[in-house]
Amino acid sequence: MIQTYSSTIRRREMEAVLTCMVDEKIGPGEMTLRLVQTAKELMGCDGAVAVRSPAIALEYVLKAINLDKESAVMISALAPYWLYVTLEKLGYKVMILDVQEDTSLVSVETVEEAVKNGGRLLVLSETMGILPDIRQYLALEIPVIEEISHSALSYYPAEYEEDSDKPAASADSGTSAGAGQESAEASKEEPSGRRAGMYGLYAILGMEEHDIVTAGGGALVIAPKRREWSPLKAIADQAPSTDFMPDMNAALAFVELKEFARNEKVRKELFTLFSRAIMSGRHKTFVRGQENNSTIYSFPLVLNSGFKDVKLYAQKKGIEVRQAFENSVIAFKQEELSTQCICANSLLLRCALFPLYPRLGQKDASRIVKVLSSLP
């Protein structure tokens, strides 16, 4: 059976984790610093902190921007469920917004209406690696936090730079003196514009099991500019060591970042192959406004028929298919949100996720192509 997800762990990833175990360096330490430095170099941010969970990352961000408790925070109905749970635990009012069916993203018009109804902060989830037109959200003049667990290392066109200066990199932000030797060799092709996550006040890069870059658990809290880095660093300096990502997890994420460009090249080749397979069929994938620049997160297919029929058909052919948004807010609160978030509910029920990851061999990829081109 071809599984829907794979973390693409090869020998280099295993050796990095094993080295930490052999050296008995398993808590937060040198590898965590090297991970942060590599992320800074690849993304062009001023500073970052590696923490043990996306929930801790969100808590740091909310402290850094000093958002009043009971303020209304806007999130997508297709955002990861941990986002909703964390906001509720911290005492914020959560405004859950519907999405556009063709992109799976929250529209600017929906956010604008929510702002009129009291929305104070937008946590913008770049679902399935699809980049929004970030300038339109920024034009609303509300604080924006980018959640880039699917869209990490995507980049915007160069013309997006015309309206704002690029964030400066700091030589001493969140790293030790020796960490600067790690180069961004994973990025062979220089992006033309800023990376995803570099337009909001802060960005959260989840590194959980099924995120585009995995540490096996954890997240990066990213400050694009020096002004945002200062309060974040102050919070991290006062935090207990139990907040920070252990070296074993950081070692895995470090190698995944270094190998990202190679893995992404394979993902894009597979995405092109699979997209051709569905061209003459009834089912479609999402529209990607920044198609050449956006990160490929698996292969979501919006079905024109029942999910169960497609799942059963693929299973008979040896392919596991899962609901694309099974871990989203609406998946856990469907009864409450189904009438309020009609498009999100529709995508929950009709969007299937097919396997797409670098470890797929030619034989398995061919099997998936055959299934995609003959779906009921």
User: What DSSP designation does 201 have?
Assistant: S
Q: What is the pLDDT of residue 177?
A: 33
Q: Which of 127, 83, 129 is nearest to 104 (CA)?
A: 127
SS3 content of the chain, % helix, strand, coil (to 5): 40, 15, 45
Instruction: Please check whether residues 67 and 131 belong to one and the same domain.
Output: yes
What's the angle, vertex CA 123, arms to CA 119 and CA 129, rounded to 5?
Answer: 140
Last residue of a domain, one of 260, 287, 315: 260
SS3 readout for 269-291:
HHHHHHHHHCCCCCCECCCCCCC
Read off the pLDDT of each residue in 10-20 and give the average, rounded to a whole number: 72
Q: What is the pLDDT of residue 22?
A: 65
Last residue of a domain, one of 203, 238, 260: 260
Distance CA 112, CA 175 (A): 38
Instruction: Please check whether residues 314 and 200 belong to one and the same domain.
Output: no
Structural domain count of the chain:
2
Q: What is the pLDDT of residue 96?
A: 98
Instruction: Please check whether residues 216 and 301 belong to one and the same domain.
Output: no
Q: Mean pLDDT, the chain, as a whole number?
A: 89
User: What DSSP designation does 167 have?
Assistant: P
* Percentage of the chain modeled with pLDDT above 90: 76
Instruction: Please check whether residues 277 and 210 belong to one and the same domain.
Output: no
Instruction: Please check whether residues 279 and 252 belong to one and the same domain.
Output: no
β-partners of residue 124 are 146
Q: What is the pLDDT of residues 302-348, one digit of tens each?
A: 999 889 999 999 999 999 999 999 999 999 999 999 999 999 999 99
User: What DSSP designation does 314 have?
Assistant: H
Please give the model's pTM, rounded to 2 decimal places. Answer: 0.90
Read off the pLDDT of each residue in 62-84 and give the average, rounded to a whole number: 97
**pLDDT band at residue 186 under the 50/70/90 scheme:** very low
Q: What is the pLDDT of residue 280?
A: 87
Distance CA 93, CA 196 (A): 26
Instruction: Please check whether residues 252 and 272 belong to one and the same domain.
Output: no
3-state SS assignment for residue 321: coil
Q: What is the pLDDT of residues 86-145, one digit of tens each?
A: 999 999 999 999 999 999 999 999 999 999 999 999 999 999 999 999 999 999 999 999
Instruction: Please check whether residues 187 and 288 belong to one and the same domain.
Output: no
Distance CA 30, CA 45 (A): 20
Contact 220, 175 (CB under 8 A): no
Half-sphere exposure of 26 (CA within 13 A, CB side): 4
Instruction: Please check whether residues 198 and 277 belong to one and the same domain.
Output: no
Distance CA 94, CA 98 (A): 13
Contact 236, 49 (CB under 8 A): yes
Number of H helices, E strands in the chain: 14, 10
Which backbone phi and psi does 356 adopt, to 5 degrees?
Answer: -155, 105
* CATH for 330: 3.90.1150.10
Containing structural domain, residue 214: 11-260
Last residue of a domain, one of 213, 235, 260: 260
* CATH for 126: 3.40.640.10
The better pLDDT of the pair 299, 294 is held by 299
Write 9-18 long-range contacts (CB < 8 A, 24+).
9/252, 10/259, 10/359, 12/255, 12/259, 13/251, 13/252, 13/255, 13/256, 13/259, 16/251, 16/252, 16/254, 16/255, 17/248, 17/251, 17/252
The better pLDDT of the pair 57, 164 is held by 57
